[in-house]
Amino acid sequence: DSGVTQTPKHLITATGQRVTLRCSPRSGDLSVYWYQQSLDQGLQFLIQYYNGEERAKGNILERFSAQQFPDLHSELNLSSLELGDSALYFCASSTGGSQETQYFGPGTRLLVL
Amino acid sequence: AQKVTQAQTEISVVEKEDVTLDCVYETRDTTYYLFWYKQPPSGELVFLIRRNSFDEQNEISGRYSWNFQKSTSSFNFTITASQVVDSAVYFCALSDYKLSFGAGTTVTVRA
């Protein structure tokens, strides 16, 4: 158990819908990262937050957004969902910058029908 | 741009054999960190090892060992005396402001 929690574990929804994925980092970690894992793209970095502020952005679509709250939990919002958004979404946390070890949550498996 | 290449797609071994996973990386940074993660069939990503670019000393931790060679930009990982529980996808990753992952190598250990 990495200490990072993610909810829900599984999510099935329809195209055009909006979903919210939630992540709680390990105790003491200030950075939260979101990654998408799909068969065709592999593991892709989406976005990083550090202590409530956006720190870095990767291949995140405009339909996706995230935030980190004062209690350091984070949410990833996916809207206008398409079939291609079906993937495993991971949250990771670290004490500070991305060169620290990132510990991953169990992931949320999203299926868009 | 950062790039990580894991040329081996799949490796299949019999229990107790050693398994070596290759990883080659590209970066313009002089300071960087390399990682290995394991993704078992259950799906979670498990941290295995982290190495910084200034420390080329190779180490052994239990059944795991790694060989970091800056001159060839390689960071290979070996599982000694493999066990069925080692069956998983193994990812090599390189960090700058994010982790850049390789495509992964699927290791199957047969009893």
pLDDT, tens digit (0-9, with 9 covering 90-100), for B48-71: 999 988 887 777 788 999 999 999
CB-CB under 8 Å, B100 with A88? no
The conformation of residue A99, written as its DSSP 8-state character, comes to T
Nearest CB neighbour to B45, from listed A45, A104, A109: A104
The conformation of residue A96, written as its DSSP 8-state character, comes to S
CB-CB under 8 Å, B95 with A33? no
Backbone angles phi, psi at A85, to 5 degrees: -80, -10
CB-CB under 8 Å, A103 with B44? no
Backbone angles phi, psi at B88, to 5 degrees: -175, 175
pLDDT value, residue A23? 98
Q: For chains A and B, what is the number of CB pairs under 8 angstroms?
A: 56
Tens digit of each residue's pLDDT, chain A (113 residues): 889 999 999 999 999 999 999 999 999 999 999 999 998 899 999 999 999 999 999 989 999 999 999 999 999 999 999 999 999 999 999 998 778 899 999 999 999 99
CB-CB under 8 Å, A42 with B103? yes
> Encoding tokens for residue B38?
């394991």
Provide the residue count of chain A.
Answer: 113
Rounded to whole angstroms, the Cα distance separating B78 from A2 reads 23
CA distances from B41 to A23, A61, B51, B89, B106 (A): 22, 28, 25, 8, 10
Instruction: Looking at the complex, report in whole angstroms how far the Cα of residue B34 sits from the nearest Cα belonging to chain A.
Output: 9
CB-CB under 8 Å, B45 with A56? no
Instruction: Looking at the complex, report in whole angstroms how far the Cα of residue B48 sits from the nearest Cα belonging to chain A.
Output: 10
Residues near A84 by Cβ (< 8 Å), separated by ≥ 6?
Answer: A38, A112
Residue A16: CB atoms within 10 Å: 10
Q: Is-contact B27 B2, C-beta < 8 A?
A: yes
Cα A7 to the chain's mean position, in Å? Answer: 10
